[in-house]
Amino acid sequence: MAVTSTRIRLGALLGGAVLAATGVSTAQSAAAAPSAPVAADAPSAAAVTKLSHSDAANRLRGAGVSWTSSGGCSDRNNPTCTSFEQINLTTVQGAITLKGATGCALTITGGTETGHASGTYSHWNGYKLDFSPTSCLSNYITRTFTNIGPRPGDGAQQYKSGSGNVYARESNHWDVTYYNCGGC
C-alpha cells in the first residue's frame, strides 16, 4: 500500500479529555477517514500523555516551580483549588522549560481545575497553566516573545514564543497555552 503524506487529524471530546492522533496514513486509511482543512498556523493536535496530580506536582517541585491555591486544595472539581490532575506532560515540561529559561521564581495559580473557559486547548484538557505575574516573568515574556495582539473576547495582550506557545496577560495572571514543551 502506498503511503501518503496526508496528515490526518482526528479529535473527539469525551468526558473532558481530548483524544487525538496525528501522523502519516496509508492511502486506504486516508480514504476511510474524514479530513477537515487545518489552518496553516494552527497547532497540530498530537497524542498527549496525561499525568496524575502527584506525578505533575513532583516534577514541578523537582524543577523549583511552586504553586498556590486560594482554597488550599488540589480537587479538580473545586474551582478554588489548583489541580494538575489530567494535565498534559508537555504542559508540565513547558513550565519547567520556562523556569529554566527565565531564571525567575515561578508560581502556578491555576491548573486543570474546573472554573476556567472551555475549549480544546483549555485548562480542563491539560493545555493551560496560570502564573503569578512577577516583574521577572512579565519582563521575560514581553522582551523575549512576539506580541501577537489582543486575544479576541477579553482583549488580553498575547505573546507567542518561538515554539508556538501563547502567553496571554490577563488582569491578575499570565494565562499560558502549551501546545508543546517549549523546546525541552
Q: Is 138 strand, coil or helix? A: helix
**Average pLDDT over all residues of the chain:** 81
d(CA 63, CA 105): 11
Rg over CA atoms, the chain: 17
How many helices and strands (H and E) does the chain possess?
A: 4, 13
Look at residue 17 and give its three-state secondary structure: strand
pLDDT at 163: 97
Whether residue 31 has pLDDT greater than 70: no
**What is the pLDDT at residue 184?**
84
The whole-number pLDDT of residue 43 equals 55
DSSP state of 145: S
pLDDT for residue 47: 83
Q: With H, G, I as helix, E, B as strand and everything else as coil, classify residue 91.
A: helix
- Residues 158 and 84: their CA atoms lie apart, in Å, by 24
45-54, 56-65, 130-139, 148-157: range with lowest mean pLDDT: 45-54
pTM of the entire structure? 0.76
The whole-number pLDDT of residue 46 equals 63
The secondary element (H helix, E strand) that includes residue 10 is strand 10-14
Report angle CA 52, 167, 96 to the nearest 5 degrees.
45
Question: Of all residues in the chain, what percent carry a pLDDT higher than 70?
Answer: 75
pLDDT single digits (tens) 61-116: 999 999 999 999 999 999 999 999 999 999 999 999 999 999 999 999 999 999 99
The shares of helix, strand and coil residues in the chain, as percent rounded to the nearest 5, are 20, 25, 50
The 10 Å Cβ neighbour count of residue 115 is 12
- Count, residues in the chain: 184
**Measured between alpha carbons, how far is 120 from 125 in angstroms, rounded to an integer?**
7
End-to-end CA distance of the chain: 36
Span 8-27, pLDDT tens digits: 222 322 233 333 322 322 23
Look at residue 147 and tell me whether its pLDDT is greater than 70: yes
